Amino acid sequence: MSKTILHMITPLKHMSPFDVNMAADAGYDVIATYQSVTPDEVRGLVQDAIFSRSPSDAVKTGFFIAGKNAIVSLDMMKTTVESFVPPFEINVFADPAGSFTTAAGMVASAEKLLADRFGTDLKGKRVVIYGGTGVVAFSAAVIAALEGASVVITGYDGIKRVAGIAADMKERFGVDVEAADGSSSEKNLEAAAGAEIIFSAGPAGVQILDEQQIRQVKSLLVAADVNAVPPAGIAGIDVMANGEPIPGTDKALALGALAIGNVKYQAQHLLFKRMIATETPVALDFRHAFEEARRFIRGA
């Protein structure tokens, strides 16, 4: 029987040991890693992989795209698919810095709390995302917008860069995302006005909204924070929080980094398993991670 083979590529100096472990535990027979890969090298690597196996075995071959930049990873994924020569087609999965699956876990967990505790969903909700220049925020914004939410992403360095990122989301995925200035504590609070859901995806160890500020967001239903390094990105959210009330708020519920991380882990594992089990080639990104995160949460 032909072996399942996973080629893992990254533009960074090192491939993440986390991702290698995840692929191994999912059941791949052979794993090869490639570091410092430039975009123009992707086509050659892919075609080396597809032409070395018969078309019937091609689906047992996978490419995993790592890195730390959502747009670069999505472009590498696009190049991978465009490099296929039917019937020589393989599987591809992008999850730079685990951010696609983290975002999926965060949004799916918030969605479940909305359904279970408030009898509602993401459609029409104002979702404010801090850390808007990062990969988790990018993915979470697109997922939430595709689910019908009114999404705002904030930029710690002002509005210009996040406005460009919002424009890229529109071009790639057809979603309208608002950009906001998050360059000061006051502007962060201003962006939170009217928010029903807040996602904090800023840098580790940086508090974005303090205790007094979060209490002023009277409309808030759910706040999630992917930061596991003290202090919390949003004051009052414990890393283990999974639906506990946020102190001092009217009704807001908390989602902490470790609760989100459990769903992220399951989503990534399930996507690797999907690639191994599929009989037809698949191309997987944060939208598919959201599907798996949802499926896991609903079955948990």
Which CATH number does the domain housing residue 195 bear? 3.40.50.720
Say whether both 89 and 63 belong to one domain: yes
Say whether both 71 and 120 belong to one domain: no
ω into 87 cis (within 30 of 0): yes
The total number of residues shown for the chain amounts to 300
Say whether both 191 and 71 belong to one domain: no
Q: Judge whether 42 lies within some domain.
A: yes
Specify the 3-state DSSP secondary structure of 54.
coil
Say whether both 161 and 230 belong to one domain: yes
Say whether both 77 and 37 belong to one domain: yes
Say whether both 149 and 239 belong to one domain: yes
Q: Judge whether 178 lies within some domain.
A: yes
d(CA 286, CA 108) in angstroms, rounded, equals: 11
Sequence-ordered list of residues with C-beta below 8 angstroms from that of 125, at least 6 positions apart, any chain? 114, 149, 150, 196, 197, 221
Say whether both 115 and 228 belong to one domain: yes
The pLDDT score that the predictor gives to residue 300 is 59
Cα 142 to Cα 31, 111, 139, 241, 269: the distances in Å are 31, 14, 5, 24, 22
The last residue of one of the domains, among 94, 114, 134, is 94
Say whether both 166 and 21 belong to one domain: no
pTM for this predicted structure: 0.96
Q: Which residues of the chain have pLDDT under 50?
A: none
Angle at 203 between CA 205 and CA 266, to 5 degrees: 100
Residue 13 is part of which domain span?
A: 5-94
Say whether both 219 and 118 belong to one domain: yes
Say whether both 78 and 177 belong to one domain: no
Q: Are 4 and 276 in contact (CB under 8 A)?
A: yes
The pLDDT score that the predictor gives to residue 299 is 83
Say whether both 83 and 103 belong to one domain: no
The last residue of one of the domains, among 230, 245, 260, is 260
The pairing of strands 197-200 and 177-181 is unpaired
The last residue of one of the domains, among 37, 66, 94, is 94
Q: Judge whether 108 lies within some domain.
A: yes
What are the E-state strand segments in the chain? 5-9, 30-34, 61-65, 91-94, 126-130, 150-155, 177-181, 197-200, 222-225, 242-245, 253-255, 283-284
Number of domains in the chain: 2
